[in-house]
Structure 1
Amino acid sequence: MQDILTVTLNPAVDLSTTAPSVVAGHKLRCATPEFSAGGGGINVSRAIRILGGHSRAFVVAGGNAGQRLQTLLADEGIAEIAHPAPGETRTNVAVISDETGKQFRFVMPGPTWSSADCKQLLTRLNAMTNRAGLLVLSGSLAPGMPRDFARTIIASLQDTGPSIICDISGEPLHDLCSGPNPGLAVLRMDLDESEDIHGAPLPTREDSARFAENLVKRGVAETVIVARGPDGSILASEDGCLHASALDVPIDSKVGAGDSFVGAFTLARAAGEPLATALQHGTTAATAAVTTPATELCRKSDFTRYLPDCSLSEIHL
């Protein structure tokens, strides 16, 4: 089994609670809050643990909230590697209204990074990786990090040589898709993100496959995955294009499907499975995740039950 290191550059302590109703101008009497560690890479490590694997979670942490973050990870059994943040780790707040059932999410920015802070982070990451391992870069960048920082991280790790799997969004994703990224093994995005980058709708599987194949040909990544929600997932590599089917399951919450996909996909690759099998595992974990409530990730029992029914097919362009 290969070593897995997940990287979360702007983690958060997530505070969740409920209130009878959420209205302006009044004190909202809330239930006892629950705390959890949040962030893309952390969720990937969490999914890997749920599915029976092991990873190390590289997180930046600062202040009292940073200490709480580390304690929360330890309580979950996730091996964390803390890197000092240039300020207090952010705390995000989610409040569910008992009256309407709606959730209100308040997302904080996190501490601001300087160029010197970014250089220290790159040095530390290089010391944490090796050629035999997998590195997962997932989640948002922190304030102050340049939009091309994901590209900078990938370039800086070429000498240490981990196989890099990237699942980011927004401007950093656009930057990655603008040119070649030697060293980027896998780039994953969802349908909305791919259409945003493409600048037009991608209504069919073949459209997504052509889009992903073009990114591979341009050297953006060795493998590009486009998640099409209930229509499954598309994978393009130099060996061709594949589609993995998603099952028709009752949807409770789509939150966490992407992180569950990346966790299962990465775990399969770390175990030496081929891309096709990893695609099946990722798609099945995403399917399992949408059946769970709120922010809960996939459940191993659901993953095991759904996996035999996740079919693969080649897409010929």
Structure 2
Amino acid sequence: MLDIATLTMNPTIDVACSVERLQHSHKMRAGEQSCDPGGGGINVARVFVRLGGNARCYYLSGGATGIALDGLLDLHQLVRTRIPIAGQTRVSTAVLERESGHEYQFVPAGPQVSPQEWQECLDQLAQAKTGFLIASGSLPRGVPDDFYARVCAIARQRGMRFVLDTSGAALRAGMDAGGVFLAKPSIGEFRTLVGADLPDEKAVGDAAMAVVERGGAEYLAVTMGDQGALLASRSGVVKVPGIAVVARSSVGAGDSFLAAMVHALAMGREPEQALRFGIAAGAAAVLTPGTDLCRVADIQRLYEQSAAAT
């Protein structure tokens, strides 16, 4: 079933521009500005729809910036369920310094969310019915650490496969509660989760298998940047190498990976193929400037390149 719902508790308006050189105390004339709806789940939905699937976005939205976010989602023709909040939706900025090729990202913490507001989100999700429910991104202030564990319980009650991509205490609470279909921490997030340096691939694989075996997740994908990704399941550990590309922006690479991997699983592809497809989407995302995420033609080309190399 190529239908998903995504949850974005701390969405953002993603603004991107470029300057020749960053200089303090100077007014710097920026190049063309782009604005896109962002935040983990929203980015996942954008890519999933590009791949031919259907997605409904559940997200919090508040203040004047929330109105702007709603409008951007409509421009992208994304089906949406808005949970209104009193606080202002955050605005994140990515600035490319053309002289050095370095990108700088400025990401605010986001609004304070009341118990009534996050409870309304749970109430809305309790009416959802789709193949996959993907919760991606950080939790805003005021939302309890075990919030995603509560969402997972709702998903399981309604027969939806729950996918989790977050970090810190929210990731730990989700893994401790168990029942997650797919979790996707980065290597840094995973090291924090297990409290170990994990110096080599074997150590990462062993730690990932331990999470799977205790029921934290059915599938655990650990992304490792240009080193590729590792997937642990009851069948064992699979490692797929990265794809060498010239990076233009890192915005949305992890979200692109997750959207493509879930899309492949929903299409019935084997987990290793889905992992490879996700890696191709993550590599495709860094090819595009600013907040543009990945392009389908690039994903397919890089996927075929990766498959031919094995």
TM-score, normalised relative to structure 1:
0.87
Tell me, what secondary structure is at the counterpart of 2:135?
Answer: strand
> Contact 1:261–1:282 at 8 Å: present in 2 too?
yes
Match of residue 209 from structure 2: 213
Distance 1:62 1:264 in 2: 29
Q: Which deviates the most, 211-220 or 49-58?
A: 49-58
2:178 is the counterpart of 1:181: yes
The answer for the alignment partner of 1:45 in structure 2 is: 45
User: Aligned equivalents of 2:286 and 2:174: distance in 1?
Assistant: 28
My pick for the range that moved more, 193-202 or 209-218, is 193-202
**Aligned ranges 1:153-172 → 2 under 5 Å:** 153-172=151-170
SS at match of 1:189: coil
Tell me how far 1:145 sits from its aligned partner. Answer: 0.6
- The equivalent residue for 1:4 is 4
Instruction: Identify if the C-alpha distance between structure 1 residues 154 and 22 changes in structure 2 by more than 3 Å, giving closer, same or farther.
Output: same
Superimposed CA distance per residue, residues 269-301 of structure 1 (whole angstroms, 9 cap, x where no aligned partner): 222333232212112211222333344322211
Deviation of 1:237 (Å): 1.1
Question: 1:96 deviation in Å?
Answer: 4.2
CA contact (8 A) 2:63 2:86 kept: no
Kept in 1, the 8 Å contact 2:16–2:290? The answer is no
8 Å CA contact 1:47, 1:297 repeated in 2: yes
* Number of matched pairs: 309
**C-alpha displacement of 1:13:** 1.5
**Aligned equivalents of 1:13, 1:250: Cα separation in 2:** 26
Amino acid at match of 2:118: C
Counterpart Cα distance in 2 of 1:89 and 1:290: 25
- What amino acid sits opposite 1:109 in the alignment? A
Cα offset, 1:123, TM superposition: 0.7
1:281 — aligned with what? 277
After the TM superposition, which of the residue ranges 77-86 and 244-253 deviates more from structure 2?
Answer: 244-253
Structure 1 residue 67, shift from structure 2 partner = 1.7
Identity %, equivalent residues: 34
Q: Are the counterparts in 1 of residues 133 and 155 from structure 2 also a CA contact under 8 Å? A: no
Q: 1:224/1:84 Cα in 2 relative to 1: closer, same or farther (>3 Å)?
A: same
Greater Cα shift, 212-221 or 47-56: 47-56
In structure 2, what is the Cα distance between the partners aligned to 1:281 and 1:294? 22
Corresponding position: 1:193 with 2:189: yes
Residues 113-128 of structure 1 mapped to structure 2, 5 A cutoff: 113-127=113-127
Task: String of CA shifts for 1:44-85, please: whole Å, max 9, x gaps.
Answer: 111112323321111211222112111111112222221112
CA drift of 1:186 comes to: 0.6
Written as runs of structure 1 = structure 2, the 5 A alignment for 1:18-57 is 18-19=18-19, 22-28=22-28, 30=30, 33-57=33-57
When normalised by structure 2's length, the TM-score is 0.89
Q: Return closer, same or farther for 1:103/1:261 CA change in 2, 3 Å cut-off.
A: closer
Equivalences for residues 101-140 of structure 1 within 5 A: 102-127=102-127, 129-130=128-129, 132-140=130-138
2:156 is paired with a residue whose SS is: coil
Q: State the one-letter code of the partner of 1:164.
A: F
Q: How does 1:247-262 map to 2 (within 5 A)?
A: 247-262=243-258
Please state how far the C-alpha of 1:226 moved relative to its aligned partner: 0.8
Matches within 5 A, 1:52-63: 52-63=52-63
Of 37-46 and 24-33, more deviation after overlay is shown by 24-33
Q: Give runs of aligned pairs for residues 236-255 of structure 1, distance below 5 A.
A: 236-255=232-251
Kindly report the root-mean-square deviation, in angstroms, between the aligned alpha carbons of the 2 structures: 2.5
